[in-house]
Amino acid sequence: MKQGKLFYYIPYGLWIALFVIAPVVLIVYQSFFNIAGHFTLSNYATYFHSGVYLKMTFNSVWYAFLITAITLLISYPTAYLLNQLKHKQLWLLLIILPTWINLLLKTYAFIGLLSRSGSVDSFLTFIGIGPKQLLFTDASFLFVATYIEIPFMILPIYNAIAELSPSYVNASRDLGASGWQTFSRVIFPLTLDGVKSGVQSVFIPSLSLFMITRLIGGNRVITLGTAIEQHFLVTQNWGMGSTIGVILIVAMVITMLLTGERKEKGRTRHAK
Amino acid sequence: MKRLVSLVVVILAVSLGLGLTAHHLQRVEGVVGSGNNVLNLYNWGDYIDPALITKFEHETGYHVSYQTFDSNESMYTKIKQGGTSYDLTVPSEYMVQRMKADHLLRPLDKSRLTGMNNISPQFKNLAFDPHNEYSVPYFWGTLGIVYNDKFVKKGELTTWDDLWKPQFKDNIMLVDSSRDILGLALMSQGHSANTHDQTQLDEAEQKLTKLTPNVKAVLDDEIMMYMEQNESAVAVTYSGNAAEMISNNSHLHYVIPKPSTNLWIDNLVIPKTAKHLKAAYAFINFMNRPENAKQNAEYVGYSTPNAPAEQLLPADVRQDKEFYPSASVIKDTQVYQDLGVKETGTYNDLFLQFKMFRK
């Protein structure tokens, strides 16, 4: 019996060891070597003493935060609305549909829309606002990034709301809570799990976005992903690239811990 | 469950069918089998006229397996790791120097080469590879400025310093390459684009931050698409990319800026790991033939180092001073040298700093 159980662990164990533990160990190991191949802490020293890298880290976190905030702002009402609709599976499918299309393709489509000769600009000229520089601006970067991340925020929130038993809402109404009180005291806290996993699955990939920073942001938006790409492909300074990678991993772990911890606290509070 | 199983079966059957068809097609075309009649060519994307590959295959009976890279550095990494054995690759001059220093190249056997006399003397025996011990020039070109005559008048852009003019606010696209962008700042100040002098480099970076208000975007090959669509008035790019843009949009023009610019040369080299030497030499000799070099130059749009081939080109191409500049202009150009890993890092950090600088 015990042996049989062990057998089931093999695929999982192998997967974790080969594709999770080994790469992380390698990145951490690599980050302690300078470009000449000597063991050193200098990569970390460079990172924390360089205004460029710290500013870049700040940029990454700030843009990831903005993307997450905007997607959340759009997604929660959307997910809530979807749950009230008649054919909710169909509407949900329509939102998931764009994720079936290759990311690069969608980004290029946006280039066509937002460029000087694109339809958005023609429309702006038509209604009298006049041509505007749309590509290579913070606004267009945030817009495209939000567009790409939104399904990953809507889905978990949608599921959380769908699981919420209507009897809670009814009880709250019966006991005299107003619509807003019902939402802020009952619905939102009970669907917080969905919000948290949505935030995780948007914030973490947004930290290291780099293709959109180039194609839509025109490299006017520089995040840590750009620096990693440069260190691995151009300068061949894998140590420094790995150091930035380690810092990103740490940032992600912190995000997970923050969103995870609050969840349990929240639960106990509401259990009272 | 039953549906799931049948779905899996269908997917497997389709994949198997596709796989077999692909294998069959490849065998018909002769890709499969790494026998002696193969040439593994590792080249930049779209950097050879496909008709020439067919011609070479017909003439010699070798089958060409064409694989592509998009930067010198990624090619270097792949060759160094040595997983695949390529018979020929096409590094730029500074990369030839680095690969040579790292013993990744095989010296050329001059007795097996023909047509070396066709190569113009000004591209032979250069500092990165004295006596062309390892490399045969394939294409060359310059770094320069493309402008759109809808927004910029002729003569408004003749020097690197003109890029700093306030009239180009938010209207310049730069190529995403630390050496070229720092290089243009260095050259505009009359310094060498190969400098190791930290003061000169810092000055160049300082000067570049003043360019920031004019910079619309820092991109790679996407520049071509944007310039063709009149998205931007000015771009700093390579002559070959410029040729391609101009052929698609007649409002575009290319300028070699003063006081000097970078001249680069891409070269055919044989990596140490090459297995099909005979095919590699046959290919070099094939490309050295004037009619083939001419055909290739017409297709790719870069300038050919092959002197008789240049003469075969239509007069309007070969007399175009921006793409086949006079000897006096060439004399003032600078060829990049390998900076070594440490200095490459310095250049890149400064470039990153420039890109981070916000208006």
User: Pick the residue with more confidence: B253 or A237?
Assistant: B253
Torsion of CA B317, B322, B325, B330, to 10 degrees: -150
From the CB of residue A98, how many other CB atoms can be counted at a distance below 10 Å?
13
User: What is the pLDDT confidence band of residue B211, given thresholds at 50, 70 and 90?
Assistant: very high
What percent of chain B shows pLDDT beyond 70? 97
Average pLDDT over chain A, rounded to an integer: 87
C-alpha to C-alpha distance for B42 and B99, rounded to whole angstroms: 15
Tell the residue number behind the tokens 């937002």, with chain if given: A114
* 3-class state of residue B145 by DSSP: strand
Which element (helix H / strand E) includes A49? helix A42-49
β-partners of residue B68 are B43
**Is A237 close to B345, i.e. CB distance below 8 A?**
yes
Model confidence over B220-242: pLDDT tens digits? 888 998 999 888 999 999 998 89
pLDDT score recorded for residue A238? 87
Termini Cα distance of chain A? 42
- Please give the structure tokens belonging to residue B241: 């990319």
C-alpha to C-alpha distance for A88 and A98, rounded to whole angstroms: 17
From the CB of residue B57, how many other CB atoms can be counted at a distance below 10 Å?
16
Least confident of B38-52, B122-136, B319-333: B319-333
pLDDT higher than 80, residue B260 = yes
C-alpha to C-alpha distance for B28 and B37, rounded to whole angstroms: 15
Is A216 in CB contact (< 8 Å) with chain B?
no
pLDDT score recorded for residue B344? 87
What percent of chain A shows pLDDT beyond 90? 44
User: What is the pLDDT confidence band of residue A267, given thresholds at 50, 70 and 90?
Assistant: very low
User: What is the pLDDT confidence band of residue B359, given thresholds at 50, 70 and 90?
Assistant: low
CA–centroid distance for A93 within its chain: 21
β-partners of residue B303 are B140
**Residue ranges of chain B whose CB lies within 8 Å of a chain A CB:** 71, 73-74, 76-77, 170, 173, 176, 178, 215-220, 222, 225-226, 229-231, 341-342, 344-345, 348-349, 352-353, 355-356
Residue A28 corresponds to which amino acid?
V
Contacts of B274 (CB under 8 A, 6+ apart): B40, B85, B86, B87, B88, B106, B280
**Is B344 close to A234, i.e. CB distance below 8 A?**
yes
Nearest to B223 by CA among B242, B249, B197, B206: B242
Give the residue-averaged pLDDT of A143-161. 94
Contact of A198 with A204, CB cutoff 8 Å: no
Model confidence over B293-310: pLDDT tens digits? 999 999 988 999 999 999
Nearest to B262 by CA among B332, B170, B167: B332
pLDDT score recorded for residue B256? 93
- Please give the structure tokens belonging to residue B237: 């790019």
**Is A219 close to B219, i.e. CB distance below 8 A?**
yes
Angle at the Cα of A271 from the Cα atoms of A270 and A272, rounded to 5 degrees: 90
C-alpha to C-alpha distance for B320 and B246, rounded to whole angstroms: 13
Give the residue-averaged pLDDT of A236-265. 83
C-alpha to C-alpha distance for A95 and A248, rounded to whole angstroms: 30
In chain A, where the domains are located = 53-260
Nearest to A164 by CA among A83, A250, A77: A83
pLDDT score recorded for residue B316? 86
* 3-class state of residue B269 by DSSP: strand
pLDDT score recorded for residue A261? 55
**Which residue of B176, B230, B348 is in closest CB contact with A219?**
B176
Give the residue-averaged pLDDT of B71-80. 87
- Please give the structure tokens belonging to residue A38: 């000597």
pLDDT score recorded for residue B57? 93
User: What is the pLDDT confidence band of residue A269, given thresholds at 50, 70 and 90?
Assistant: very low
Contact of B100 with B134, CB cutoff 8 Å: yes
Model confidence over A209-240: pLDDT tens digits? 888 888 888 888 888 888 888 888 888 888 99
C-alpha to C-alpha distance for B180 and B156, rounded to whole angstroms: 21
pLDDT score recorded for residue A38? 87
Give the residue-averaged pLDDT of A92-104. 89
**Residue among A219, A222, A231 with most chain B CBs within 10 A, to mutate:** A219
Contact of B213 with B169, CB cutoff 8 Å: yes
Helices assigned H by DSSP within B30-138: 50-60, 72-81, 93-101
**Which residue of B170, B219, B356 is in closest CB contact with A222?**
B356
- Please give the structure tokens belonging to residue A232: 């691995």
- Chain B residues with CB under 8 Å of A239 CB are none
Nearest to B44 by CA among B116, B174, B141, B181: B141
A46: closest chain B residue by CA = B349
CATH of A53-260, one of 3.40.50.920, 1.10.3720.10, 1.20.1050.10, 3.40.190.10: 1.10.3720.10
Contact of A141 with A70, CB cutoff 8 Å: no
Beta pairing class for B263-269 and B135-148: antiparallel
What percent of chain A shows pLDDT beyond 70? 94
C-alpha to C-alpha distance for A204 and A144, rounded to whole angstroms: 17
pLDDT score recorded for residue A268? 44
**Which residue of B74, B229, B342 is in closest CB contact with A117?**
B229
Give the residue-averaged pLDDT of B3-15. 93
What percent of chain B shows pLDDT beyond 90? 70
pLDDT higher than 70, residue A61 = yes
pLDDT higher than 50, residue B32 = no
**Is B219 close to A218, i.e. CB distance below 8 A?**
yes
Give the residue-averaged pLDDT of B144-154. 94
pLDDT score recorded for residue A210? 80
Give the residue-averaged pLDDT of B129-157. 94
β-partners of residue B219 are B175
Average pLDDT over chain B, rounded to an integer: 91
pLDDT score recorded for residue A7? 85
* 3-class state of residue B350 by DSSP: helix
The CA distances from residue A143 to A15, A95, A150, in Å, are 36, 16, 10
Domains and their CATH numbers in chain B: 33-139+264-319 (3.40.190.10), 141-263+325-357 (3.40.190.10)
Question: Which stretches does DSSP call E strand in chain B?
Answer: 38-44, 63-69, 88-89, 135-148, 172-175, 215-219, 234-238, 252-255, 263-269
- Cβ-based burial of A26 (10 A; exposed 0-12, middle 13-18, buried ≥19): exposed
User: What is the pLDDT confidence band of residue A2, given thresholds at 50, 70 and 90?
Assistant: low
User: Pick the residue with more confidence: A261 or B345?
Assistant: B345
C-alpha to C-alpha distance for A81 and B96, rounded to whole angstroms: 61
**Residue among A220, A228, A231, A244 with most chain B CBs within 10 A, to mutate:** A220
- Asked whether the CA dihedral B38, B44, B45, B48 is positive or negative, the reply is negative
**Which residue of B77, B219, B342 is in closest CB contact with A214?**
B219
C-alpha to C-alpha distance for B217 and B230, rounded to whole angstroms: 14
pLDDT higher than 50, residue B111 = yes
Tell the residue number behind the tokens 């990569």, with chain if given: A43
pLDDT score recorded for residue A3? 66
pLDDT score recorded for residue A127? 87
Q: Which residues of B are annotated as a binding site for spermidine?
A: 94
What is the interface pTM, i.e. ipTM, of the complex?
0.82
Contacts of B292 (CB under 8 A, 6+ apart): B52, B55, B286, B309
